[in-house]
Structure 1
Amino acid sequence: MTFYCSNYYGSIQCQTTVTRFGDRCKLCTVMRVGSSISDGLLPDSMVHTAADAARSAEIEKFRRETESAIRKEVRMAK
């Protein structure tokens, strides 16, 4: 999952994407433009990475497949 650079939400409106909400892109960091909105504001446990999103998608897919299999078994038992 990608998010806009934190400078997108300010006056600079950078449209580069980053993998963590509230972070600045590498260009804005090097140019020392704007500031990261996540520094000290978001606890790391609340920030989701792309790996977390992929894992959540896998869990949801497994849940749906399991429910579908259970429904099929119930229909066949009737």
Structure 2
Amino acid sequence: MNKLSEKISDVMNYKEQAIQSVSAISEKTAVSAEKVSASATQQQKEMEYIALSTKRVNHIAGELAEVVSRFKVNQDK
């Protein structure tokens, strides 16, 4: 009977350690997921900024092309 109690105790200890291990892994996974989410959010903001900057540069380039076209000299040869 004593050996049975020891075996049950060993199984319970093993079970408790396994649960703690799974819990620790779950916590680490949650932290990693939060970091990935924050990184993705930051990348999205940066992409929006780049898109807006590209539109502004295109607009400025169009204005510059218009201004330059006023100063073109016709050279007939």
Q: Which has the larger radius of gyration?
A: 2
TM-score by length of 2: 0.41
TM-score by length of 1: 0.40
More strand by share: 1
More helix by share: 2
